[in-house]
Amino acid sequence: MGPTGRLASGFLPLLLATLARVYGNTEINPTSYLAKYTWAPLADPLRPFAAPVPPLQVSAPSYHVADVWASFRPSPRHDEIVRAAPDTWEVLPQALDKNYRNPCWTDAKGRFRCAPYFQILGVSKCGTTDLYGRLRRHPDMADGAKGPHFWDECPYPPKGACTAPPNGDFDGYVNLFEKGATQIKSNPLAIVGEASSNTYTGVFTFVRRRPSEPFEGPDKFHARVQRDIQMWNNCVAKHGTAECVRRYEPQQLVKGMYGEFVEAWTSVFPREQLLFLRTEDYKAAPREHIQTVIKFLGMRELSDEETTTMMRLRRFNAQSEKYPRMWPESRKLLEDFYRPFNQKLAKLMGDDPRFLWEDTAKKAAAAAAASA
């Protein structure tokens, strides 16, 4: 049993996704798309990406998670879903405690328990650690779990402790937030979340990363690109695109097909509960993005001093910047391969050209030409 059945049962109200890697400043305004969620147009054209202006459009949650859970009505496939992940349904409560913003309840044993209020679905090396690390500095953010990977790595039936000891089941997963639950009980406005970088693609993952950055030497990377693309083409010729995406091989190549997974999420979660971010833009304008996420989560706005302190933190997990650059021919192969997938994603994102990543392709080509 993969994670799909488990996720179909969740009451997670807010899901965040980050989307790509940067090569420096881009030609696309890195904050313009945030206006669709919680941001207003920037007031000062002379300082377009400096200090943020006070947001005029606020898309904080208009509901209480306890009410969302109370309104749950089983689907026609409910019995099938329960059979797929009974450990989840054995733990989920009949009702959530409305005295707390976070989904919390007191179980039959008298334990005060909490599940995550939000998930940063990520993909690998997209900035999920940095985003989560900064959010953790908010006074109303309780201790959670950065990357337990429960939804994408722990199957049912459980096979050992996995990342949710002792048994690798949903009860163990909720236990990961025990410390946060204690903090929430003292601060009813506090919330807890988690950030597992492969949950986005594990559903069939949301900070997104440009899918063409190598984790190894450029020569080995180029050979792997050629091999993986050939493997994918052979699979599609035999089984079709949808089936090959489900087979999830070659894994690293499929992870970059962001558009193939968006509809799986939007078919389950209302669009207003999903926030998509692009990593290039997050890095170009981190302050605006952090403030947007805080608004999206319905958390207290930070003062200028609090925000400045948060933004002065050293970047979390910046290891990807140490990787060598790929060869130009590797980049060309990947850009050609991902073009139709990026076109689909841009269409799903309201014809937003930033999700074509043409701006970063131009910057990379210019950098390669300058170093030739």
Q: What is the pLDDT of residues 278-318, one digit of tens each?
A: 988 999 999 999 999 999 999 999 999 999 999 998 877 66
What angle separates helix 128-135 from helix 286-296, to the nearest 10 degrees?
60
Mean of the per-residue pLDDT values of the chain: 82
- How far apart are alpha carbons 122 and 148 in whole angstroms? 13
pLDDT tens by residue, 315-361: 776 655 666 888 999 999 999 999 999 999 999 888 889 999 988 87
Give the span between the Cα atoms of 76 and 94, in whole angstroms: 19
Smallest CA-to-CA distance from 127 within 318, 355, 325 is with 318
Residue 354 to residues 80, 90, 293, 345, Cα–Cα distance (Å): 39, 43, 19, 10
CA dist 324 and 333 (Å) reads 17
**Which residues have C-beta within 8 Å of that of residue 245, sequence separation ≥ 6?**
204, 254, 257, 260
Question: What number is the average pLDDT over the span 160-179?
Answer: 96
Backbone φ/ψ region at 16: left (φ over 0), alpha (ψ -120 to 50), beta: beta
The conformation of residue 141, written as its DSSP 8-state character, comes to B
pLDDT at 216: 65
- Model pLDDT, residue 366: 75
**What is the model's pLDDT at position 44?**
37
Q: Is the predicted pLDDT of residue 246 greater than 80, yes or no?
A: yes
Task: Give the C-alpha distances (Å, rounded to integers) separating 8 from 33, 66, 147, 294.
Answer: 29, 17, 20, 26
Interatomic CA distance for residues 88 and 13, integer angstroms: 17
Domains assigned to the chain: 3-215+258-322 (3.40.50)
Mean pLDDT of 124-128: 81
pTM of the model: 0.82
* pLDDT higher than threshold 80 for residue 7: no
**70-99 average pLDDT score:** 94
Q: Does residue 11 register a pLDDT over 70?
A: no
